[in-house]
Structure 1
Amino acid sequence: MKTGAKRRATQGFFAGGVIGGIGGLIGLGGAEFRLPVLKGLFKLPTLEAIIFNKAMSLVVVATALLARSSGIEWSSLFAQWPIAVNLLAGSLIGAWFAAGVAMRVKATTLDRLVFFLLVGLAFVMITEHVFNLHWLGGALIDDGPLRWVVGLVAGLVIGIVAAVLGVAGGELLIPTITILYGIDIKLAGSLSLAISLPTMLVGFARYSQSGSFGVLGREKPLFFSMTAGSFVGAVLGGLAIGLVATNWLIIGLAVILLISAYKTFQHSKADEKNPA
């Protein structure tokens, strides 16, 4: 491996470790923070960064689902199949459609879209923390046609966000499952992973039709080093739960996400003023 590639792989390991550690502390995968790093630090074009992020998120989600399998009451999880079908009916369509749009639009337009979605996720993180939206003690809407329609729309939005940012979508899935359907937070976490995996696979399959998909072969050392760092960081972050106060950490991370989104937006404005 050449010196530049080694340095890049080392940076990837430490970047993945920091993001994984933060994710382990606050219970998120960290993909929303990984995207600005891929674009800013490693200078990947936006679409390539999204595809790279999607591939990493797939590995993380599949591993998390396997890791939780021993503690999951599968009968309880399978009993919630109507919820999974409801959300997947929207998320699969949203993921396929959004990935197709991301491949067709100009880079500046994609940057703007990423900007608005990152800002939206940051505000979701802040709102969840301030208002404790994970559990309100019951389903927001009683079972019936109205809840099915709302779930379909929610799934569509989640699929779009997951495809465009390359994330699993747990930040949106878990509060949706707990609030809309009244499901316990622990079961919602496992259910969100089960919904995320097929949603991400659909988006990934769509992106495989893009020429930018070659980034996974070109950046293989970075991919493996960043994935390894993410796993190490996630383990250390999980062990540090209880040692580090996370009350203000989430808000601080949301602010970082807002700053990253702003920089992405400024980048797209600069590109538009000075086209190549």
Structure 2
Amino acid sequence: MSTGLPLSPLRPPYSAPVVFGAGAAIGVLGGMIGLGGAEFRLPLLIGLFGFAALSAVILNKAMSLVVVLVALPARLAAVPAAEVAARWPVAVNLLAGSLLGAWAGASWAVRMRSTTLYKVLAALMVLMAAALVLTHTATLDTVNLPLWAQIPAGVVAGFGIGVVAAIMGVAGGELLIPTIVLLFGEDIKTAGSLSLLVSLPTMLVAFARYSRDGSFAVLGANLRFTAVMAAGSVTGAVLGGLLLGVFPDLVLIPALAVILLVSAVKLARHH
């Protein structure tokens, strides 16, 4: 049973400033840790704006795609293009799994019962909280695998990340960055750029799969809502980037992890 048809907001329609402000607040949260914030936006779409799980995932995916497209030029400007291009085998290795994972994840999402999808989203929110804490508070040491083991490990990791990104409607940077550091030994800055190069085609594949389902109509029905919130998210991400380092990680990261865990509990209880 698909979560199928778009669900109108449970509350009266919100004004553009409210939608923009909500997107900006999410963007700031993500920008302060160098991410897009889609993992925080998803529970907001469900809890505050009243969209059904699958509808929220599709809208979140559309907004994440916009945020990544805007962030990509800035990220490539921060890290020399030649330096990123030299790491193309890393991106190709992960894409070999993530493109398949994105298609599979989106296919599973449209076939899940609503109650199941809420629980799966809740579990993935816990995973995101753990990845957030691991990436920002622990020292990530490279797992020195021989090439014959590194390549299949990259494909498997990419597949898993593609599945998660498709089901949640996120770019997947929270998982891609630590994976690139751990498996391939890249520094955090280069890993951030490579993660965008992997996440963009991965998101497009998931988007293409969702477009084949009837639930995709939610995007057309809420195009103005999506555009306004995406604009707020981009604006907030820029502002959050300016605040990067203002709040110590020892305070910021646990607070954001708690937000994700509370959201996970609410999603698990959602009917």
Distance 2:123 2:75 in 1: 32
The 8 Å contact of residues 13 and 226 in structure 1, kept in 2 or not, is answered as yes
In structure 2, the residue matched to 1:53 is: 60
In structure 2, the residue matched to 1:175 is: 178
Distance 2:135 2:193 in 1: 19
Distance 1:253 1:114 in 2: 17
Q: How large is the RMSD of aligned CA atoms in angstroms?
A: 1.4
1:118 equivalent to 2:148? Answer: no
Instruction: Write out per-residue CA displacement over residues 68-120 of structure 1, whole angstroms, 9 at most, x where no aligned residue.
Output: 23333222212111111111111011110010010011111111111111111
- Correspondences of 1:114-153 after superposition (within 5 Å): 114-133=121-140, 136=141, 139-153=142-156
Instruction: Write out per-residue CA displacement over residues 147-181 of structure 1, whole angstroms, 9 at most, x where no aligned residue.
Output: 11111110011001100000001011011111111
In structure 1, the residue matched to 2:223 is: 220
SS of 2:51's equivalent in the other structure is coil
Question: Normalized against structure 2, the TM-score is what?
Answer: 0.92
- Correspondences of 1:97-112 after superposition (within 5 Å): 97-112=104-119
1:208 equivalent to 2:211? Answer: yes
The 8 Å contact of residues 94 and 155 in structure 1, kept in 2 or not, is answered as yes
- The one-letter code sitting in structure 2 at the alignment partner of 1:65 is L
SS of 1:244's equivalent in the other structure is coil
Question: Normalized against structure 1, the TM-score is what?
Answer: 0.90
Q: Which runs of 5+ in 1 are unaligned?
A: 272-276
Instruction: Write out per-residue CA displacement over residues 182-218 of structure 1, whole angstroms, 9 at most, x where no aligned residue.
Output: 0121111111100000000000000001111111111
SS of 2:179's equivalent in the other structure is helix
The offset of 1:237, in angstroms, is 1.5
- The one-letter code sitting in structure 1 at the alignment partner of 2:26 is I
Match of 1:20 among 20, 23, 27: 27
In structure 2, the residue matched to 1:274 is: none
Return closer, same or farther for 1:121/1:242 CA change in 2, 3 Å cut-off. Answer: closer
In structure 2, the residue matched to 1:96 is: 103
1:196 equivalent to 2:199? Answer: yes
SS of 2:60's equivalent in the other structure is helix
The 8 Å contact of residues 8 and 222 in structure 1, kept in 2 or not, is answered as no
Q: Which runs of 5+ in 2 are unaligned?
A: 1-11
In structure 2, the residue matched to 1:260 is: 263
Distance 1:243 1:131 in 2: 20
Distance 2:76 2:143 in 1: 28
The offset of 1:9, in angstroms, is 2.5
Distance 2:32 2:118 in 1: 29
The 8 Å contact of residues 42 and 168 in structure 2, kept in 1 or not, is answered as yes
- The one-letter code sitting in structure 2 at the alignment partner of 1:203 is A
- The one-letter code sitting in structure 2 at the alignment partner of 1:142 is L
Return closer, same or farther for 1:68/1:130 CA change in 2, 3 Å cut-off. Answer: closer
Distance 2:76 2:136 in 1: 27
Return closer, same or farther for 1:34/1:85 CA change in 2, 3 Å cut-off. Answer: same
The offset of 1:225, in angstroms, is 1.4
Distance 1:83 1:243 in 2: 32
SS of 2:269's equivalent in the other structure is helix
Instruction: Write out per-residue CA displacement over residues 4-59 of structure 1, whole angstroms, 9 at most, x where no aligned residue.
Output: 54x34222111111111111111111000000000011100100100000000001
The 8 Å contact of residues 25 and 246 in structure 1, kept in 2 or not, is answered as no
SS of 2:144's equivalent in the other structure is coil
Instruction: Write out per-residue CA displacement over residues 228-265 of structure 1, whole angstroms, 9 at most, x where no aligned residue.
Output: 21122122222222433332111111111111111111
- The one-letter code sitting in structure 1 at the alignment partner of 2:252 is L
- The one-letter code sitting in structure 2 at the alignment partner of 1:168 is A
Distance 1:189 1:127 in 2: 15
The 8 Å contact of residues 94 and 156 in structure 1, kept in 2 or not, is answered as yes
Structure 1 outlier segments of 4+, above 6 Å:
none
The 8 Å contact of residues 177 and 188 in structure 2, kept in 1 or not, is answered as yes
- Correspondences of 1:26-45 after superposition (within 5 Å): 26-45=33-52
In structure 2, the residue matched to 1:159 is: 162
